Structure 1
Amino acid sequence: MADTLRRLTNTSSFSVLQDKLDSWHKDYHVISCDQNLNRCCELIELTAKIQGQLFAILNLTAAEGGHYAGVDTLKTRLLPWLGTCFSMARPSVTDDTSLQLIQDSVEKDRKIKELSFSHESDMQKMETQLCSTRLQLDSVRAELIDAKNELDETKSKSATTLLATEDEILQLKADLRSAHEQVEIYKRKLDALDDYERQIRLLRDEVSYLSTEKAMLQERLVRSRSPSPLLRPSRSSSPVRSESPTRAQLTNSSRHARLVSRFSDLYAVERLEAQSLLRRYIADLQMVQKIIFIAVVESFKIAKLAYRQFKLRVRKTLSTSHFGPESLEDAAVDYIVRNLDLYDVQASVNDVINAMNVDPHISFPPEVDFVLISTLIREACRVAFAMQTLESPLDLAFASDGELYNDSRYRRSYDSEFTAPLVMYHVWPALMEGNNVIVKGEALTRRSAPWTRSRSRSRSASPVRSRSLSPTRSLVFNGKRSLSPDRLTTSCL
C-alpha cells in the first residue's frame, strides 16, 4: 500500500488535474463545443484513473487491517456515498430554473458563434491587408527595378558623354571664352550707358544752372544799359562776378574721388584681363608685367600731351568770344570738363602703341600686336586725360629700374625678396597729387642688379626691330617717319 500511495504522490495527478481545469477555464469561451466536451471527457477519464488508484489503496488498507478492522468506517462513509451515487437523483431545480439554464446556454452559444464570426472576419481583413501590402511591395520592387534601369541608362549616357573628343572640348572652351568676353563687353556697354545717363543728368543740371545764370546776366545787362548811375555797377568791383565758381570747380571733389576709384579699377580689372591675354603668347610673367607697366606710363604721357594741345585749341577758340566773371583759363577747363567726349582717344592709343613698338626694354612675339591690350591703353588714356582737368592734376610717380625701394609709394609684389633694397622692375605705377601719394603702386624687389639682364640683351637682336614696318606701329607724315612720342613731347615743349 505504501508503494502505491508513493507512486500516486510522485505522479502529482491532482496537480495535473488542476492545471487542466485552469487551462480549460481560460479557453472555454474561445474553443468550440466539441473541444469543450473533449476537455470534459479527458478530465472525467483522469478522475476515474485517480479514483481507481484510490480504490486499490482502499482495498490494500482494508486487507492490512484484518477481517474486522475498518468495518465501521466503510459502513458509515463509503457505503452511504456509493448508495447516493448509484441511485437516481431527483433534480433539485424547478422547471423555470431549468428553462433559464437552457436560455443561458443558448445565449452563451450565440456569443460563442458571434465571437467566432468576428474572429473569422478579422482574419479575413488581416488577409486582405496582407494581400494589399504584398501588392504594394511588388509595386515598390517594380519601381526600384525601373529606377535601377534608369540609373544604368544614365551611367551609360554619362560614360558616352565622357568619351567626347579633345577637339570638341577645346571648341567648347573657346566658345566659353568668347562668351565671357562678350559678357564683359556687354558689361562695359552697360557701364557706359550708366555713364551716359549720369552725364545726361549732369547736363540737365548744367542747363538749369546756365539758364539761371543767363537770366541773371540779362538782368545785369539791362541794368547796365539803364541811364541811372546807381544801376551801373563797375565790372571790376563786383564781388559776385569775380567769385562765381565754374562747373569744374563745383564738381572737382566728386571727379577726384571718381577718377581715383577708376584708377584702382584699372589695376584690379583691366590689368588682370590684359595680363591673361598676354600670357597666351608670352610665357615670361616679368615681361608681361613690364609691358603693362610701360603701356600705362606711356598712356599717361600721351594723354597729358593731348590734353595740353586740346587746351591750347580751346583757349584759342574761346579767346575771341569770352566774357564773364571767370578767367579764360577757368573757362577752358570748364569747357573741357563738359566735353570730355571730344577727346580723340583712338589717336592717343595709336601713339601709345607706336611708342611701345620702339621701346628697347620690352619684347613681343612678331606674329601678334600691342593692339591686343588696346582696351587697357584706352581706359588709361581716358583716366589720365580726365585727371588733368582737376584743380590739382594727378600724375604718375617717376619710376626707374634699380631705384631705391620707397615703402611710402609702392608695395612689394608677392614674389619679391622682402629684404632687398632695390627695385628690379615696377608692376604698377603710383598715383601722385603733387608730392602726396594717392594710390600706392606695386614693385618687385630683388637683390641681383636689375641692369644685368638689360645690358646683356643686344638692341639690334630684339624682335621689336623686325616689326617696325607694321602700318599700325609707325607714324608717317609726307612719306617720312615721324619722331617717337618722347621726342615729339620734347619738341612740342
Structure 2
Amino acid sequence: MAEGLRNLVGTGSARALQEKLESWQQDFEINSSGENLNRCCEMLELNTAIQKQLFTILNETSREDGNNEGAETIKKRLLPQLGTCLNCATSGKSFENNFSITQDSVGSEMQLRELDTTPETCPLQDLEEKLTSTRLQINQMEQDLNTSRTEEEDALKKLERLNDYEQQIQTLRDEITILDAQKSVLQSRLARSRSPYRRSGAKSQRSLRPKSWSPGRARHINASRRACLVARFGFIYAQERFDAETLLRTYISDVEMVQRIIYTAAVESFYAAKMAYWKFKIHVKEALSLSHSGPESLEDTVLDYIVCHKDEYDVHASVKEVIRSMNINPKISFPPEIDFIVLSTLIQELCCLAFSMQTLIPPLDVAFGIDGELFNETKYYRSPDSDFTAAFVAYHVWPALVEDGVVIVKGEVVTKRVSLCFRRSKIRSRSCSCSTRRLLSSHSFRSRSFSPLRSRRC
C-alpha cells in the first residue's frame, strides 16, 4: 500500500490535473466546442489514471483489514457514489470479490429494513398475535372454571340443605310414629281393661301352661305391638345409641371405630336374639304338642305363649354371646384394659327388642350390610360427615329395619370415595372373618338358617 501511494505522489498526476484544469478554465471561452470536448476527455483520462491507482491502494488496504471495517467504510461512503459502471472503472479480481460481498451485505440489510417496514409479513408478528389470542383464551377458560366451581359449591350447599331437610322430615316422621305407638298402647290397655280375659294382678307361676290369653290374640294386636316396637327401635337409635357413643369416646378417640362397634353390637344382638327365639320356640312347641287341644292351631298357641311369657327369655345368655362374637370380630378393637361389657345395657335392650320383633307376623329384622356396597337412598341416610358425592358405603353407623325385605326404618351410613380394590378387600376380609368366627365357635355353628333338627340334637 505504501509503495502505490509513493508512486501516486511521485508521478504528480494530481498536480498536473490541477494545472490543466486551471489552464482549461482560462481558455474555455476562447476554445471551440471541439477543443473543450478534447480537453474534457483529456481530464477524464488523467482522472481515470489517478482513480486506478487509488482503487489499487483501496484494494490492498481492504485485504490487509481483518475486522471488515474497510467494507463498512466502503458501504457507507463510497458505494452510494458509485454507479452502474463501477465494475468497468475498477481493476483487479480481488476487489470485485470484495465489492460483491459488500453488495450482498447491503442487500441483506435492505431486506431486513423491508421486513421491518412490512410487519404484516413478519412471522414473529404472527406468533405474537397467536400468543396474545391464546392468552385471551386461557383467561376465558379460567373465568369459566371459576364460574363452574362456584356453581358446584352452590349445588353442594343446596344438597346439604336438602339432606338437613330430609333428616328433619324423618325426625318428624319418627315422632309421629312414637305418638301412634303411644296411641296404640293406650287403646290396647283400654281394650284389655274391658276384656273379660284380663289377667289377674298376681303373676302366675312360670310353667309351660299358657296364661289367660284369648285364642290368636297375638295376631289380633300385631299392629299395635309392631308400632310400639318400631318406635322403640327409633328411640334406641336416637337416644341410647348416642349415650353409648358418648361412653365409648371416653375410651376410644377414633369416631369411626366407635360407630363400627355400636353397629356390630346391634347386628350381633339381633342375630343372637333370633337364635334364642328359635330355640325357645322349638322348646315350647315340643312341650305344648303333647297336650295341645283347642280350636286354634299349634303355631298360634306357641306364639301366644311366647308373647305372654317373654320374661322367660334368657337375655343375659344372649348378651354374653354378643360380647363373645364382638371379641373375635377382626373389624373392631377395644383397649385391653376395657371390655365390651360396658355396652351390656345397650346390648340387652337390643336383644329384648329383637326377641319381641320375632313374635310379629311377619317378623322384623335388621338389613344385611357390607362395607363398600352401593349406597341406597331407600335403605340408608348419609351421616353428616359423609362425602355426599360418593356412591359407595365406607362403613355403617346403624342398621336399617326391614319387614319381608321392605325397609320400614332407614339406617345410617358414612359414604366416602373408595376404590374397587378397597371394596374387594373389604369383602374378602368379611368372608375371612366369618370363617374365623366359625372355627373359633366350636360348640355352636353360626349360620343364618336355623335347623330344628340341629337344635334337638343340642
Give TM-score scaled by structure 1 length: 0.46
Give TM-score scaled by structure 2 length: 0.49
Larger radius of gyration: 1
